[in-house]
A and B are shown apart, each in its own frame.
Chain A
């Protein structure tokens, strides 16, 4: 058991899981929390309820800023339970000396994103703390959404289901690393940060029965698939060739020794649906701008239950594990 909290405990991977289960779940134990979904399903399955805090460095980066992230993050967690985001709270902790012009830009982009979701902020809180107490600005958002398709759950995935990713993977994580480490690709690499409710709504309206849905944030697609494999006791087999990864993300991964599947996304989801509905879902996703790179990346089997297996194009296989530790570059 850990004695002190390290950065690895916030990685969305194994250490993060350990922290949550051994400390928080143990203390707060209840039936709703233990489902471990993106958002809690409450009030007889009619409402979804979720909270998230945002701390990112730098706070403004290609494709988004911390404000857009804070709205997308919570609204997407609601959308991942088939819920239309409705009411949000917004709580900010600001470091002394923070520029008001920057704060305006952050808040304006929050409003733009709220409009895309059709949601409103109905309550909030502001704290200012002495310089050095927080890193520039931390934002917490909490949201309630109206569930429009019931029964979406990481525990429901079945043998022969199909796994879809909605976009090319790893763009948010790669953008943040590139910005933080001063890697200039002179290209269009930008975060995929986006509100996903409009896409999910279209899927629901077209009669797609979603089995499981999750936005692949910290820990990336590998974390989502590993959680699904364990929670539904299935094996997820994915085909390396089918996983969409853009050249810039591949470049960052090459330089720093990362795997695109473990990098964070902020506007890309993973979906499990029945084989019969897969082509209809893909057609629909490809017709929408933020999911036009959608791809069927694999399917569900019972070969190695609880595990995620990657099939290479030359006929070999390996496990895709949960990311561990702090994401750090390899030395050689």
Chain B
């Protein structure tokens, strides 16, 4: 058997002929549908794909992309970034997190700024890399600042499992794991909701299964297609959605059948449940407080919970985005980045004011970076 190469995993999914053929099929199906369809891609990864490959330019007039709240870095409230910043500047602390988090500014600055002031901040590709840092620095407290949706939670759980089983005593956790369905419901229940269908992120469903979206089809009557992140995946998903509208169906479909099932990865789910429970509240940057939309460490692991251990130095006052920022409206799908007065002027990737500009996966950042040449 020939060795599988990395390029085999994406080559076919960026094939120009396939993309063009799918565009023609989308055009034909969309021409049959009399109304407009607003499709929300929940995940910032999809926003990035749509803008990077210009897929919005391939859409017919009556199909529009609405950019959702699914970027864990973007939706992190400033007060929690401040936690990371403050923790990193403690003398005996090494703060470890995933790459994108380093650049996001809180009210004091970003972790990058903290590092320039002497903080020991490190980024890892996998949370398990934290173990090596802890081993090499036995006299330091290693705080893993955990971020991300259902995709990255199992990796944090795996680190917790390793730490508890091996009785490692110098790794602590600041948990910021959030979940996808709750903000989607908040968006659908808002008065000015303009969402007609969803593209769901495949990597989330690899863990959770597609079952987390059942309610959106049954209760809210919005088609959901779980999609991969390549251009062909997104185009196929749009085609599937338009077909549902033409055939008067409202279903949960899996476009990314190469890895997603209804039930997902049960072992990962069990590991998550072993260490985490629902946090009653999490304040999403741009969207406000959403109950049950985040996880926290279970009480039995509070000895590793940096939020509890350092509670005397971690402030909890709300810090709002800039007054002119309309990120909330952008994530609810009622405004586009270039409707914002500060977009590209006072608010840029190098000096972001609002949540959608802070990470490369945010809608404003993607619009700024890739431009919006045709649509």
A314 to B147, CA, bound (A): 35
Q: Tell me how far the C-beta of A32 lies from the nearest C-beta in chain B, rounded to whole angstroms.
A: 29
Q: Tell me how far the C-beta of B244 lies from the nearest C-beta in chain A, rounded to whole angstroms.
A: 24
> Is there contact, CB below 8 Å, between B152 and A326?
no
A29 contacts chain B at the CB level, 8 A cutoff: no
Q: Tell me how far the C-beta of A114 lies from the nearest C-beta in chain B, rounded to whole angstroms.
A: 36
> Is there contact, CB below 8 Å, between A317 and B373?
yes
> Is there contact, CB below 8 Å, between A6 and B116?
yes
Which residues of the partner chain B approach A250 to less than 8 Å between Cβ atoms?
Answer: 6-7
Given contacts A318-B370, A331-B152, whether A325 and B54 have CB atoms under 8 Å apart is no
Q: Tell me how far the C-beta of A67 lies from the nearest C-beta in chain B, rounded to whole angstroms.
A: 29
> Is there contact, CB below 8 Å, between A319 and B350?
no
B117 contacts chain A at the CB level, 8 A cutoff: yes
> Is there contact, CB below 8 Å, between B58 and A4?
no
Interface residues of B in 75-123 (CB under 8 A from A): 98-103, 112-113, 115-117, 123
Which of A14, A181, A316, A321 sits near B125, CB closer than 8 Å? A181
> Is there contact, CB below 8 Å, between A251 and B23?
no
Q: How many residues on chain A are close to B (CB under 8 Å)?
A: 37
A251 to B3, CA, bound (A): 15
- Stretch in B45-53, B185-193, B269-277, B323-331 touching the partner: B45-53
Measured CB to CB, the nearest residue on chain A to B55 is A316
Which residues of the partner chain A approach B374 to less than 8 Å between Cβ atoms?
Answer: 316-317
B66 contacts chain A at the CB level, 8 A cutoff: no
Most buried by B among A254, A326, A328, A332: A332
B203 contacts chain A at the CB level, 8 A cutoff: yes
Interface residues of A in 306-331 (CB under 8 A from B): 307, 309, 312-319, 321, 324-326, 328-331
Contact code string B122-145 (vs A, CB < 8 Å = 1, else 0): 010100000000000000000000
Q: Tell me how far the C-beta of A242 lies from the nearest C-beta in chain B, rounded to whole angstroms.
A: 13
A330 to B100, CA, bound (A): 6
Interface of B is mostly: helix
B16 contacts chain A at the CB level, 8 A cutoff: yes
Most buried by B among A4, A241, A318, A321: A318
Most buried by A among B6, B149, B151, B361: B6
Which residues of the partner chain B approach A332 to less than 8 Å between Cβ atoms?
Answer: 43-45, 72, 148-149, 151-152, 203, 361
> Is there contact, CB below 8 Å, between B58 and A331?
no
Which of B48, B116, B231 sits near A4, CB closer than 8 Å? B116
A101 contacts chain B at the CB level, 8 A cutoff: no
Which residues of the partner chain B approach A312 to less than 8 Å between Cβ atoms?
Answer: 16, 53-54
B33 contacts chain A at the CB level, 8 A cutoff: no
Which of A5, A247, A314, A331 sits near B100, CB closer than 8 Å? A331
A3 to B117, CA, bound (A): 10
B258 contacts chain A at the CB level, 8 A cutoff: no
Given contacts A5-B116, A331-B73, A332-B45, whether A318 and B103 have CB atoms under 8 Å apart is no
Given A312-B53, A326-B103, 7 more pairs with CB closer than 8 A: A247-B7, A250-B6, A312-B16, A312-B54, A316-B54, A321-B370, A331-B98
Q: What are 10 A-B pairs with beta-carbon distances under 8 A?
A: A3-B113, A315-B57, A315-B58, A324-B349, A325-B349, A328-B123, A329-B99, A330-B99, A331-B148, A332-B72
